[in-house]
A = this chain, B = another copy of it.
Amino acid sequence: MLLHLCTWPEVESYLEVSRGIIIPIGSTEQHGPTGLIGTDAISAEVIAKGVGEATSALVGPTINVGMALHHTAFPGSISLRPSTLINVIVDYVSCLTKSGFLKFFFINGHGGNIATLKAAFSEAYDRVDNLGIERADEVKCQVANWFMCRSVYQLAKELYGNQEGSHATPSEVAVTQYVYPDFIKNVGELTPAPSGHPIYGAKDFREHYPDGRMGSNPNLATPEHGGRFYELAVKELTGSYLEFLNSD
């Protein structure tokens, strides 16, 4: 059930049976020579939809652009500053809390979002409480990173070993291939990608990771793998969402 495809009276009805909402959040950033710039948004969105179907939960609009400042030395990357993203999250949570939502489950496709999201949750709890919104003290946010699901992680390890790497990974590329089989990019064999250098600013990142990959070999990805990752992530996050929803 997608919020975008509902009417407001349908949302009103939904709120009588559930106070939970799933919000996919991705990023718009380089994913190496073959990965799609929308990889993180695409994967978060499709998995969120899957979880939404499995749980009859409402799925909000995808936050397509996240915190990816360190990727902005590659053309096409777009990032919010952390301070902007915090305000975006605060605004989402404020509006939806006024609507009656209390449980916000962010399905996240980008590691770089995690810190800012968590900071934003703290800011949001404080804000809704200060605004005097009813039941504001019951507002709860959770970030669920599909790529950190135990089952996903295990399959990635099994399929790719240490060629999974940590950015532009075959697992995330596989999910996009599963969703967009017509947009599989091929630039021939890839040299081994560097790894191990921590993430600092944009120029430094590009200097150390000249084609954008961090230790990964996305050529190992297949749409079929993508389907399996999708299934695992949906299954595991379905459990997480229900647990979150039913927690006090």
Contact = CB atoms under 8 A, between A and B. Distances in A.
Given A67-B122, A119-B119, A204-B138, A37 B83 contact: no
A140 B200 CA distance: 6
A17 interface: no
Copies of the protein in its oligomer: 6
A150 interface: no
A30 B119 CA distance: 20
Contact of A202 (B30, B73, B129): B129
A137 to B, nearest CB: 4
Contacts of A80: 87-88, 91
A233 interface: no
A50 interface: no
A139 interface: yes
Most buried by B among A5, A92, A140: A5
30 contacts: A3-B28, A3-B76, A8-B32, A8-B77, A9-B187, A11-B75, A38-B61, A61-B65, A64-B64, A67-B122, A69-B122, A69-B123, A72-B95, A72-B98, A75-B100, A78-B91, A82-B123, A83-B87, A84-B90, A119-B119, A121-B200, A126-B202, A129-B201, A130-B131, A132-B132, A137-B201, A140-B198, A140-B204, A141-B200, A142-B198
